[in-house]
């Protein structure tokens, strides 16, 4: 009788493993394709200032320095504006001694 219950237990465990591998027991999140289109509003005159980068300068420190007292909406905006003005450069990889165009912001 013990052998019979052991056989049933092993058969049941094997069936559970088979079912789990074949069909899965966790619900699969349905992936939805979302199309995102980014609209960049280009103004005919993007104000900027060319500055040579010194040791210890960061994108944010330079932008805050040249835009004293002006409200800057977000760091992401500064990065995007910088990369529009400098298409061959990345905001995270400023090189010492190189001159870049930094965005100027107005009080709006």
**Predicted pLDDT of residue 104:** 86
Residue 35, pLDDT above cutoff 70? no
With cut-offs at 50, 70 and 90, classify the pLDDT of residue 31.
low
Residue 39, pLDDT above cutoff 60? no
CA distance 72 to 61: 12
CATH, residue 83: 3.10.350
Structural domain includes residue 75: yes
48-52 and 99-103: which strand pairing?
antiparallel
Structural domain includes residue 12: no
Structural domain includes residue 90: yes
**Residues of the domain holding 74:** 48-103
Residue 67 is given by DSSP the state T
Helix axes 59-66, 75-85, angle to 10 degrees: 90
The model carries a pTM of 0.55
Structural domain includes residue 11: no
Residue 7, pLDDT above cutoff 90? yes
Structural domain includes residue 39: no
**Predicted pLDDT of residue 6:** 94
What are the DSSP calls for 69-98, one per residue? TPPP--HHHHHHHHHHH-TT--TT---TT-
């Amino acid at each position: 009788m013990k052998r019979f219950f052991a056989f049933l237990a092993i058969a049941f465990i094997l069936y559970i493993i088979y079912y789990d591998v074949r069909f899965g027991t966790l619900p699969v999140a349905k992936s939805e394709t979302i199309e995102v289109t980014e609209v960049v509003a280009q103004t005919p005159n993007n104000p900027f200032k060319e500055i040579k980068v010194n040791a210890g300068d960061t994108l944010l420190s330079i932008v805050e320095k040249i835009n004293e007292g002006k409200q800057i909406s977000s760091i992401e905006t500064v990065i995007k504006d910088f990369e529009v003005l400098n298409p061959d450069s990345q905001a995270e990889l400023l090189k010492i001694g190189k001159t870049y165009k930094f965005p100027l912001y107005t009080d709006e």
